Structure 1
Amino acid sequence: MPEISNAKPVGIPRTVWILGFVSMLMDVSSEIIHSLLPVFMTVVLGASATTVGIIEGIAEATALIVKVFSGVVSDYVGKRKWLAVIGYGMGALSKPLFALASGTGWVLSARFIDRIGKGMRGAPRDALIADITEPAVRGAAFGLRQSLDTVGAFVGPLLAMGLMLLWSNDFRAVFWIAVVPGLLAVALLALGVREPDRKKPLEKAASPISRSALRSLPPAYWWVVSAGAVLTLARFSEAFLVLRAQQGGLPLALVPLVMVLMNIVYALGAYPFGILADKMRHRTLLMLGIAPLIVADLLLAYDRQLGWIMAGVVFWGLHMAATQGLLAAMVADTAPAELRGTAFGLFNLASGVAMLIASVLAGLLWDRLGAAFTFQAGAAFAAASLLLLALRKAEPQQ
């Protein structure tokens, strides 16, 4: 007769839920703006696709690269929360600049400040989740936070769309509304999250990419970094999904539907895929998650009719749901506990460089060879990353 276990089931901590709602509110704020920003730049400010790609690439790369420094600092001081508060605060305070923008320089400045804030909060927040979550539910915890984050990522565009219809395509008035949920996110984090005591910080300060830290990170971790960078190179900014939908004839006020659709799929899939990540081989799941990206790129390249574009957007969201929480869990599982902030930072440094290259290249291809060729190139990069994963002989440590 099997022995009956009295062990209490492991649950997801309350702090993870609060961090998820903080992410949700900030994403509402950000996506009100970002779902309209590519069209605002091209239609109102007269920017080219290359300019959009450069701005988006610099912005997203900045966020990922700054995570290196915030992660290391959070490891050194042994505190995560207040670095995250500062980061969310910068994001909230950048929002008025979009409403005031009279040229692309303003937009670049606002995106730069916003993404510095995102970079400052990302690694400490993810490291905090890893600190307080048992390994048995870590994939589910990251999936839950990502899912709540993504709820905000489709509520924001829905609000943007409704306000654009209500206010006759007044971009700037809509951008002002984005300030409110951003400030609410900062207040919830500052008042609602209590950070657990840390056993001990690093003994002395080190450069963000110190030799001692690099030596302490195992080969399995560096494999995850390489996989994440290659995959990011294959997936350029979602701004190009918005521009593709505009090419397909979607009215200005309805352009946010692209991000709504993508993020509904993302939100619905992130938590189930997070649970799946706790039950199956990570490399296998990552390979399965790349296949929808290839399908998405091929659909977006095939035709500019809205039906094909929206089908591509659905598969893009499915890819994001399958891979983003998974990669975070893989970093947490392969990095030493005392260097998790550093590990998330280095992972995002590699991904940031790849995002900058991918978005600039996508903009250049779009202007010179057309939208179809841009997405065909994305499919080729995604297929290459899938092949690299398939050829790897050994499974990374989990």
Structure 2
Amino acid sequence: MKNITRTVWILSFVSLFTDMASEMLYPIMPIYLKTIGFSIVLIGILEGVAEAVAGLSKGYFGKLSDNSGKRVPFVQIGYCLSAISKPMMAIFIFPLWIFLARTIDRIGKGIRTGARDAILSDEARPETKGKVFGFHRSMDTLGAVLGPLLALLYLYFYPEDYKTLFYIAFFPGVLAILVSFLLKDNRNSISKKNTSTSFFASFHYWKNSPVLYRKVVIGLLAFALFNSSDVFLLLKAKQSGLSDTYVIGLYIFYNLIYALFALPIGIMADKIGLKKTFVIGLCLFAFVYLGMGFSTNRNTLIGLFSLYGIYAAATEGIAKALISNSIDKKDTATAIGTYAGFQSICAMLASSLAGLIWYQFGASETFIVTGIATIFILIYFVFWVNPRVVNLEKKKNSE
């Protein structure tokens, strides 16, 4: 495919295998946690704390990658940690151990995120970043289709044997590590800087970052503050009377839609603009969450999960492409790591808040609050992030 380099293909397959392992467990995670004694509030706190602890490291490791002039070692170590965390979840069921295993998985993501996305950014031009990031997201999400399918097949023959799935998930994680050894650092892409790296590099970079970057990230973080874990969508489906098998099938369907639309939407974003595409995605998200708040009908849930897949395709890769076009190339890993780190903190608050609202007021109120908040964030992007500024920055970066 044009503009999709060998490096992008390799990274995409690494992500595919890793997501296959992670998403094999994701739809059954809340069910498994409830069977070992976790309450809905504790599930929300687990998801949030794991993201936040790891999130603080993302800016640090992104800056470390930029300063060292290396990308690949961070990618390899990050994926390795995520792989070994899978069987840890099944070895012991003590809450502290579960928190440790989940945090190791998220720290692995923190180590690799900035470096991996910087490689993707370096492999694209400003006018093709939507396509490159969209292709990577498409392959990544294909793993999120294959993983739950394997889980569904296993549970068909061995109902409620959730623990064994955590051991099975270790194998695609190993495949991801092996494929990552095909990657090589591009010596000409970044230069080594002999400067120290603070653990709080995110805060230092934020102070000196471009105005456009701060405007974009403020909007993204406001959205992250209300965008709780997808676990709550699955719990809503379960609460609506769907079986475990149907819930997993619905999650597979959502990821299939995501995988199918990520690349074409990325190509569309390069043509109509990254911000416009992202705003469309926010509109879909608000509609889905408001719909989840007011409906429990099975057919309606299927339609909403379809739209949720299109929303994800229009926002996740597009957001990173938008960020990478708003900063200097030499700071790509730092900028994306900084955003990812702050996003993780917001995710902790979002998931914890969603769990508390659900516990105190119910599922419907949880989704309605998020839907209404997203409408205000959408307005911010429409009127505050100037597309002319984005285009000017793209032109500046391409020169």
TM-score normalised by L of structure 2: 0.93
Tell me how far 1:307 sits from its aligned partner: 2.2
Alignment partner for residue 374 of structure 2, among 358, 382, 386? 382
Distance in 1 (CA, whole Å) between partners of 2:385 and 2:40 is 40
Q: 1:25 to 1:393 in 2, by over 3 A?
A: closer
1:174 aligns with 2:165: yes
Q: 1:260 to 1:91 in 2, by over 3 A?
A: same
* Letter of the 2:108 counterpart: G
Cα deviation 1:301-334 (Å, max 9, x = unaligned): 1122322222222222211110111111011111
Cα deviation 1:8-39 (Å, max 9, x = unaligned): x9622110011001000000001111110011
Tell me how far 1:390 sits from its aligned partner: 2.4
Aligned residue in 2 for 1:197: 187
Aligned residue in 2 for 1:28: 20
* Letter of the 2:375 counterpart: A
1:323 aligns with 2:318: no
* Letter of the 1:197 counterpart: R
Alignment partner for residue 88 of structure 1, among 60, 79, 88? 79
* Letter of the 1:47 counterpart: F
Q: 1:210 to 1:225 in 2, by over 3 A?
A: closer
Tell me how far 1:214 sits from its aligned partner: 4.3
Q: Is the 8 A contact 1:297 1:375 kept in 2?
A: yes
Q: Is the 8 A contact 2:216 2:385 kept in 1?
A: no
Q: Is the 8 A contact 2:258 2:313 kept in 1?
A: yes
Distance in 2 (CA, whole Å) between partners of 1:393 and 1:193 is 36
Distance in 2 (CA, whole Å) between partners of 1:184 and 1:342 is 28
Q: Is the 8 A contact 1:157 1:260 kept in 2?
A: yes
Tell me how far 1:197 sits from its aligned partner: 0.5
Aligned residue in 2 for 1:75: 66
Q: 1:347 to 1:175 in 2, by over 3 A?
A: same
* Letter of the 2:185 counterpart: E
* Letter of the 1:80 counterpart: R
Distance in 1 (CA, whole Å) between partners of 2:177 and 2:69 is 21
Q: 1:210 to 1:89 in 2, by over 3 A?
A: closer
Aligned residue in 1 for 2:215: 223
Q: Is the 8 A contact 1:164 1:170 kept in 2?
A: yes
1:337 aligns with 2:329: yes
Q: Is the 8 A contact 2:60 2:202 kept in 1?
A: no
Aligned residue in 2 for 1:136: 127
Cα deviation 1:252-275 (Å, max 9, x = unaligned): 244322321221111111111111
Specify every segment of 5 or more residues in structure 2 that has no aligned partner in the other structure, as ranges.
395-399
Specify every segment of 5 or more residues in structure 1 that has no aligned partner in the other structure, as ranges.
1-8
Aligned residue in 1 for 2:9: 17
Aligned residue in 2 for 1:373: 365
Aligned runs of 1:36-185 on 2, under 5 Å?
36-42=28-34, 44-185=35-176
Cα deviation 1:132-154 (Å, max 9, x = unaligned): 32223222111111110000011
Q: Is the 8 A contact 2:41 2:359 kept in 1?
A: yes
Give the SS at the match of 1:291: helix
* Letter of the 1:342 counterpart: T
Q: Is the 8 A contact 2:202 2:334 kept in 1?
A: no
Give the SS at the match of 1:36: helix
* Letter of the 2:315 counterpart: T
Tell me how far 1:393 sits from its aligned partner: 6.5
Distance in 2 (CA, whole Å) between partners of 1:210 and 1:303 is 40
Q: Is the 8 A contact 2:281 2:311 kept in 1?
A: yes
Distance in 2 (CA, whole Å) between partners of 1:284 and 1:211 is 29
1:311 aligns with 2:303: yes
Q: Is the 8 A contact 1:63 1:119 kept in 2?
A: yes
Aligned residue in 2 for 1:350: 342
Alignment partner for residue 281 of structure 2, among 264, 289, 300? 289
Q: 1:157 to 1:84 in 2, by over 3 A?
A: same
With 60-69 and 284-293 compared, the bigger mean Cα shift is at 60-69
Q: Is the 8 A contact 2:284 2:311 kept in 1?
A: yes
Identity of aligned residues (%): 32
Cα deviation 1:29-62 (Å, max 9, x = unaligned): 01111110011112x1122211111111122334
Q: 1:99 to 1:210 in 2, by over 3 A?
A: closer
Aligned residue in 2 for 1:3: none
Distance in 1 (CA, whole Å) between partners of 2:350 and 2:213 is 23
Q: Is the 8 A contact 2:130 2:321 kept in 1?
A: yes
Aligned residue in 2 for 1:302: 294
Distance in 2 (CA, whole Å) between partners of 1:206 and 1:168 is 49
Q: What is the aligned length?
A: 388
Distance in 1 (CA, whole Å) between partners of 2:161 and 2:179 is 30
Give the SS at the match of 1:266: helix
Distance in 1 (CA, whole Å) between partners of 2:333 and 2:69 is 10
Cα deviation 1:155-179 (Å, max 9, x = unaligned): 1111111111111220011221101
Distance in 1 (CA, whole Å) between partners of 2:324 and 2:202 is 19
Distance in 1 (CA, whole Å) between partners of 2:238 and 2:205 is 46
Cα deviation 1:312-367 (Å, max 9, x = unaligned): 22222211110111111011111111111110111112211211111100000111
Q: Is the 8 A contact 1:39 1:242 kept in 2?
A: no
Q: Is the 8 A contact 1:236 1:355 kept in 2?
A: yes
